[in-house]
């Protein structure tokens, strides 16, 4: 792929395979080399081929950053050692006294970042349900400097209206950050809907094979990009070239994987909804989901995550998680293998119990990451685990 302009003409599946990458000029290798060198020779002090030191920039990382930026329709991409490192770097664009509006349902680690790391640094966060976008406008304060949301949210799969919240952010001249980890750019492109920046845990669908931890920030806002680029180098929470390579390789099949995840998740959500041991299924693709209509407009597919409430609470939910065998009981999501987990005990344990109760993260709630195994095997596994 020669230029950014040419890249803009390519469809998503083509970008996922080629953006930011060309055959190696020395050998013709079609896969991006893993450049492990920590430093780069300079012809004269300050005269170099674009790389000085691998924390500041690395060829393998640059290829990944270009590919992710192309997929999200951004002009700038930055990658990090984890999704949490990406989020932490982004909130370091704020200053003491600033206020953040954050969606009420976010990954437990993101809640913890705002609640336990940023609050003592005098950055206050208000968590609110953004399903009614007018609540966002009402909650704005003169010192509000950032709006942050996940959609679909983790783990309740709420859908927030990106375009509406983006216009509220724009009126206040503050950035809207969308964590696009659950949808991926294959199913939702927040920047096209007016968001200022996208963050990702590349650990999940983007890598897709549960063998690398990473994160990313994508934006077309020049001032924000300049600051994030500075902070990426100054804070230094950068990914290794090997992890960049793994995510770059995983990205090549992102489109094919996401289409398959969506088909299987839709099928299983419908079957679970009719299962007597299940009290409620939350999946944006079901017409029973309150955000179904908005998700149909805002996304091109409903994702691979299903949340279900097991009838009877903690014990039946625990038994289900113990009995599953094709689904592994494990944190994380977005890999080729199916995973099931219990947010109240596992991924969202850092959210205080009263807040979990208010949100509806009950003890019977389990979260499924539907993988790429045969869907009938997945159904047999779920059905057997739900039998008493």
Smallest distance from ligand P1T to CB 234, Å: 20
Residue number of the CB closest to ligand P1T reads: 83
- Structure token digits, residue 311: 């009838």
Compute the residue count for the chain: 388
Give the number of residues in contact with ligand P1T, rule: CB under 6 A: 18
Q: Is 331 in the site for ligand P1T (CB under 6 A)?
A: yes
Residues 6+ apart with CB under 8 A from 98: 123, 124, 143, 144, 145, 146
Q: Is 243 annotated as catalytic?
A: no
Contact between 195 and 178 (Cβ < 8 Å): yes
Is residue 184 part of the contact set for ligand P1T (CB under 6 A)?
no
Alpha-helical segments (H) within 118-188: 134-139, 162-171
Among 154, 188, 240, 307, binds ligand P1T (CB under 6 A): 154
Is 245 among the residues known to form the active site?
no
Binding track, positions 91-120, relative to ligand P1T; x by CB under 6 A: ----------------x-xx----------
In angstroms, rounded to a whole number, what is the distance separating the alpha carbons of residues 128 and 104?
A: 4
Shortest CB 25 distance to ligand P1T, Å: 33
Which residue lies nearer to ligand P1T by CB, 224 or 333?
Answer: 333
Torsion of CA 149, 154, 160, 166, to 10 degrees: 20
Active site (annotated) includes residue 179: yes
Instruction: Candidates 63-71, 238-246, 293-301, 328-336: pick the segment binding ligand P1T (CB under 6 A).
Output: 328-336
Q: Count Cβ neighbours within 10 Å for each residue of 292-308 and write b for 16 or more, e otherwise.
A: eebbeebbebbbbbbbb
In the complex, minimum distance from the CB of residue 179 to ligand P1T, in angstroms, rounded to a whole number: 5
Tokens of 374: 């045969």
Query: Around Cβ 110, how many Cβ atoms within 10 Å?
Result: 24
User: Out of 60, 79, 93, 201, which residue is the one contacting ligand P1T (CB under 6 A)?
Assistant: 201
- For residue 234, the SS3 value is helix
Q: Does 186 engage in binding with ligand P1T (CB under 6 A)?
A: no
Which one is catalytic: 98, 104, 107, 205? 107
Residue whose CB is less far from ligand P1T, 21 or 339: 339
Q: Kindly state the smallest distance separating residue 334's Cβ from ligand P1T, in Å.
A: 8
Pick the piece of the chain touching ligand P1T (CB under 6 A) from 68-76, 79-87, 269-277, 321-329: 79-87
Say how far apart CA 118 and CA 106 lie, in whole Å.
15
Q: Least distance from C-beta 59 to ligand P1T, angstroms?
A: 23
Provide the 8-state DSSP code for 192: G
The Cα 127–Cα 114 span in angstroms is: 10
Active site amino acids = 55, 107, 179, 204
Instruction: State the residues that interact with ligand P1T by CB under 6 A.
Output: 82-84, 107, 109-110, 150, 154, 179, 181, 201, 203, 213, 215, 331-333, 347
């Amino acid at each position: 792929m020669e230029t950014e302009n040419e890249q803009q003409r390519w469809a998503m599946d083509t970008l996922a395979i080629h953006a930011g990458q060309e055959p190696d000029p020395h050998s013709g290798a079609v896969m991006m080399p893993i450049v492990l060198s920590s430093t780069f020779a300079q012809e004269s002090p300050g005269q170099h081929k674009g790389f000085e030191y691998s924390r500041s920039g690395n060829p393998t990382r640059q290829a990944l950053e270009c590919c992710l930026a192309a997929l999200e329709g951004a002009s700038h991409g930055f990658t990090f050692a984890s999704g949490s490192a990406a989020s932490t770097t982004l909130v370091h664009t704020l200053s003491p006294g600033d206020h953040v509006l954050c969606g009420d349902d976010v990954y437990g680690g993101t809640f913890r970042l705002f609640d336990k790391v940023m609050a003592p640094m005098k950055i206050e966060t208000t968590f609110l349900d953004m399903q009614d976008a007018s609540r966002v406008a009402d909650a704005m304060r003169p010192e509000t400097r950032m709006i942050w949301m996940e959609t679909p949210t983790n783990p309740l799969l709420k859908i927030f209206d990106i375009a509406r919240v983006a216009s509220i952010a724009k009126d206040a001249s503050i950035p809207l950050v969308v964590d696009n980890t659950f949808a991926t750019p294959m199913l939702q492109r927040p920047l096209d809907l007016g968001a200022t920046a996208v963050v990702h845990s590349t650990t999940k669908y983007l890598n897709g094979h549960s063998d690398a931890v990473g994160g990313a920030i994508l934006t077309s806002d020049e001032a924000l990009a300049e600051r994030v680029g500075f902070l990426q180098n100054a804070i230094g929470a950068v990914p290794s070239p090997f992890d960049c390579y793994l995510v770059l390789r995983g990205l090549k099949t992102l489109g094919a994987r996401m289409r398959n995840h969506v088909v299987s998740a839709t099928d299983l959500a419908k079957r679970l909804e009719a299962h007597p041991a299940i009290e409620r299924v939350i999946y944006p693709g079901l017409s029973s989901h309150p955000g179904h209509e908005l998700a149909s407009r805002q996304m091109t597919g409903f994702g691979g995550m299903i949340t279900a409430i097991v009838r009877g609470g903690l014990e039946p939910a625990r038994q289900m998680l113990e009995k599953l065998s094709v689904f592994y009981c494990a944190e994380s999501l977005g890999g080729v293998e199916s995973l099931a987990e219990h947010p109240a005990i596992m991924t969202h344990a850092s959210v205080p119990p009263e807040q979990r109760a208010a949100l509806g993260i009950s003890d019977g709630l389990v979260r499924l990451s539907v993988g790429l195994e045969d869907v009938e095997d997945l159904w047999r596994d779920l059905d057997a685990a739900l039998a008493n």
